[in-house]
Chain A
Amino acid sequence: MALLNDTSTQFSPWTDRSATPLIRFDGVTKRFGDFTAIDNLNLDIYPQEFFALLGPSGCGKTTMMRMLAGFETATEGEIWLNGAQIGDVPPNKRPVNMMFQSYALFPHLKVWDNIAFGLRRQGLPKNQIGPRVEEMLRLTRLEKFASRRPDQISGGQRQRVALARALAKAPKLLLLDEPLAALDKKLRQDTQFELMDIQERTGTTFVIVTHDQEEAMTVASRIAVMDHGKLVQVDTPDRIYEAPLSTYVADFIGDVNLVEGTVTAIDGESCTVAFAEGQPALNVISETRVEMGQRVFLALRPEKVCVGATAEKNTQNALTGTVTDIAYTGNVSTFHVTLASGHVIKAQASNGRRLSRRTINWNDRIVLSWTDTAGVLLKK
């Protein structure tokens, strides 16, 4: 992919054909009565990945995770872990641990005993349990709270206890079910970095389920976007954001302008798209193969559209419109610009200077401009 950075030196086992996956979903289908939760799904997850399953509620992401943990069995297809089929292995015999959304800390046990629970069930000798628990307490910065009960610590601390308990047995695979949903925003952001740090230090493969796209983008090495039991796109966060394969993915991740139009000229990778009468055709360079006369969508991120009295230098597209809405969120301002054709285009400008007069106001006539590589052409 020429438009994005070369990733060959980075961690990317999914591009290496000789790499063996840790998890393989092979034609997996899961039905609950008439309802198909997972529909003929194929997916490889590699060792040491931080893999995110992302989608709206009811898309099947939690079912996939529960199949990995062993709480659900696939109706059809096979699930492989580390080269062995795990369909018939009960949850208490799998080298997989899970961090539950509700944390599911044992309320009658102290933090220390919560973390030691799995080690004791494993039958580890006492003189090995102690050091291992201490290690987990240090890793999650919980040393001071070892003798507290779960109802005597804060939400953020409980989240870390749940993580420590799940990691204590050094599982090959750690499943995280909406691990940060119960935390407030500030704590959630800090915890995301902590999770990444712990994942890197322990070298464990993490699979996280979330409906928060920002969270998935932050932590994951790859994201699987799901809808109605199917994988819509599996890719790295930057590819998901900058090169979505469908309007569903483009719309689900972040903010986007979707302009529907018809291809009127093709010259190699560049083409022009007419979208409304009286408006200039749009120039796009896109790797998507299109044909003359085809209906396509241009997906254009608001932050890639410049607003100003005139078009920016070196941009290949320029449209004139009226500012109908301004959303100021501190770091950025989002302008809703209505074109003569009735289309509303969102454009974002970062507020780089603290003391500056606002130069664009409601009802101003302004020019939107962007380059021919700013957007992506989508067929569906």
Chain B
Amino acid sequence: MNTQMSWVNKLSVTLGFMFLYVPMVIVVIYSFNKSKLVTIWGGWSIKWYGELARNEAFLSSAIISFKIALVVATLAVILGAMAAFVLVRAGRFWGRTLFSALIYAPLVMPPVITGLSMLLLFIGVNLDRGMNTIIIAQTTLAISFVAVVIASRLLSYDQALDEAALDLGATHFETFRLVTLPIIAPAVISGWLLAFSMSLDDLVIASFTSGPNATTLPLRLYSTVRSGVSPQINALSTIVIAIVSLGMLSAWLITVRSHRRMQANEGIAD
């Protein structure tokens, strides 16, 4: 950690981070712009945040997005955890490789294809498009991410812990509730946060599967931007950036903390 970085490293780190974050920083700064024109700086102000708060369309979309993200994250964690347990715990069964490939495939599938196939399915089964269809479509994608996160935690899980709980008289359900779940909780929470931010960000899948009364925030943003960028968008983007970064940061913190504890445990056991 204390080793000095060479100037090449310093330069590449600086360039890399600039490439990643300068556009976002500009959006954040311009969200405090007094001027009505998006590209011209007119001094500091928070008036666009005020206008945003009075914008009914944006507010209702934000509420819809949050509702969807909550349901999607929760469903994805339940289903993803189940998939992860089968992947890691079920041992060898016929078609195991195919099963794991099928779980991970949506990770590399372009979202356009996921969205389109979902749309065709919903039309095929004659399901009215709205919040429900967005939830179903986003959940299918989020399951894969959650399964990856939880499965990687379960791989390093000492199964003797579950055996010890059973040995001490716990039922299988008690073992899960009192031992397994609390220990893998950090992975479950970061899986949930990951699914939540994914759902909140998603434009592609939502655009295929949304209905008349289910315009999510990204959809609303996109359609507004097409008819001209209002400074309100900058304010909204700043809020979204803040929420997503908070989610990502806490997911990261939880993972790091549990990792440290795990290392400490193993370090003493040796």
| B-binding residues in A (CB < 8 A) | 69-71, 90-93, 96-98, 100-104, 106-108, 117-118, 121-122, 150-151, 153-155, 158, 165-166, 169, 182
Residue of chain A at shortest CB distance from B269: A182
Q: Cβ of B264 < 8 Å from any Cβ of A?
A: yes
Q: How large is the interface on B (under 10, 10 to 19, 20 to 34, 35 or more residues)?
A: 20 to 34
- A91-B166, A98-B167 known; A108+B182 contact, CB < 8 A: yes
| Other A-B pairs beyond A106-B165, A169-B169, 15, CB < 8 Å | A69-B167, A70-B167, A96-B167, A98-B167, A102-B269, A103-B269, A107-B183, A107-B261, A117-B170, A118-B168, A122-B169, A151-B261, A151-B268, A154-B268, A155-B268
Identify which of residues 155-174 in chain B touch chain A, using a CB-to-CB cut-off of 8 Å: 158, 160-161, 163-171, 174
Residue of chain A at shortest CB distance from B267: A151
Kindly list chain B residues whose C-beta atoms are within 8 Å of the C-beta of A107. Answer: 183, 261-262, 265
Q: Cβ of B116 < 8 Å from any Cβ of A?
A: no
**Nearest CB of B to A21, in Å:** 22
- A102-B158, A151-B268, A158-B269 known; A92+B166 contact, CB < 8 A: yes
Taking a contact as CB atoms under 8 Å apart, the answer to whether A100 and B160 are in contact is yes
- A104-B160, A104-B161, A151-B268 known; A92+B183 contact, CB < 8 A: no
Give the distance in Å from the alpha carbon of A92 to the alpha carbon of B162 in the complex: 11
Kindly list chain B residues whose C-beta atoms are within 8 Å of the C-beta of A104. Answer: 158, 160-161, 163-164
Taking a contact as CB atoms under 8 Å apart, the answer to whether A121 and B169 are in contact is yes
Taking a contact as CB atoms under 8 Å apart, the answer to whether B174 and A121 are in contact is yes
Kindly list chain A residues whose C-beta atoms are within 8 Å of the C-beta of B167. Answer: 69-70, 91-92, 96-98, 166
Give the distance in Å from the alpha carbon of A306 to the alpha carbon of B182 in the complex: 63
Give the distance in Å from the alpha carbon of A93 to the alpha carbon of B168 in the complex: 9
Q: Cβ of B86 < 8 Å from any Cβ of A?
A: no
Give the contacting residue for B170; candidates A70, A71, A92; CB below 8 A: A92
Kindly list chain A residues whose C-beta atoms are within 8 Å of the C-beta of B265. Answer: 107, 150-151
Kindly list chain A residues whose C-beta atoms are within 8 Å of the C-beta of B182. Answer: 108
Q: List 12 A-B contacts (CB under 8 A).
A: A90-B166, A93-B169, A97-B167, A106-B164, A106-B165, A117-B168, A122-B169, A150-B265, A151-B265, A155-B270, A165-B168, A182-B269
Taking a contact as CB atoms under 8 Å apart, the answer to whether B161 and A106 are in contact is yes
